């Protein structure tokens, strides 16, 4: 983070990845970031524009249940660049192609198999995008309450660090 902050100066830099509580926000600030991006954490709030089942899956999920892959993007026909893989919770279609990630892109029937599985209810229509910070998520607060808690946690972490 410090190197990126130095290289990007004077452009503000946001830290992202694995940040899901105020301690992570404090660490990002201490390393020079102007702020932090908490994607998965805000999916698990009452106002999040995700299905309630997705928010509950995030609360129940664990970091070791997440993985990076391009398989679900390929199967869904997403135009997202394959070199930027998404981190998701487990998915039955991903299980089918694990270790053979390049094959669905070369197999025109793979996308159709995915769509057919979605239509039959075998597969969720969308991946459950979730980061490794999922282990720190155990509730579904409102976004306002979450922001307040994050600020209090960050202030506490920074005060403890400054007092040593």
Per-residue pLDDT of the chain (164 residues; tens, 9 = 90+): 999 999 999 999 999 999 999 999 999 999 999 999 999 999 999 999 998 989 999 999 999 999 999 889 888 888 888 788 889 998 888 888 888 888 888 888 888 999 999 999 888 888 899 998 999 999 999 999 999 999 999 999 999 998 65
Q: How many other C-beta atoms are found inside a 10 Å radius of the C-beta of residue 71?
A: 28
Residues 6+ apart with CB under 8 A from 28: 1, 14, 15, 19, 35, 36
Look at residue 43 and give its three-state secondary structure.
Answer: helix
Instruction: Please give the DSSP secondary-structure letter assigned to residue 91.
Output: -
């Amino acid at each position: 983070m410090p190197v990126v902050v130095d290289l990007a100066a004077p452009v503000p830099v946001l830290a992202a990845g694995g940040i899901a509580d105020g301690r992570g926000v404090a660490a990002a600030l201490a390393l020079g970031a102007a702020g932090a991006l908490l994607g998965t954490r805000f999916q698990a709030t009452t106002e999040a524009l995700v299905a309630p089942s997705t928010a509950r899956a995030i609360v129940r999920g664990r970091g070791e249940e997440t993985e990076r892959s391009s398989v679900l993007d390929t199967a869904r026909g997403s135009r997202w660049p394959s070199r930027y893989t998404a981190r998701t919770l487990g998915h039955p279609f991903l299980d089918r192609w694990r270790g053979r990630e390049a094959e669905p892109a070369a197999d025109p029937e793979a996308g159709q198999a995915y769509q057919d599985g979605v239509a039959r209810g075998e597969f969720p229509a969308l991946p459950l995008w979730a980061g490794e910070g999922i282990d720190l998520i155990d509730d579904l607060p409102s976004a306002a309450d979450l922001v307040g808690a994050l600020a209090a946690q960050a202030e506490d972490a920074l005060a403890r660090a400054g007092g040593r």
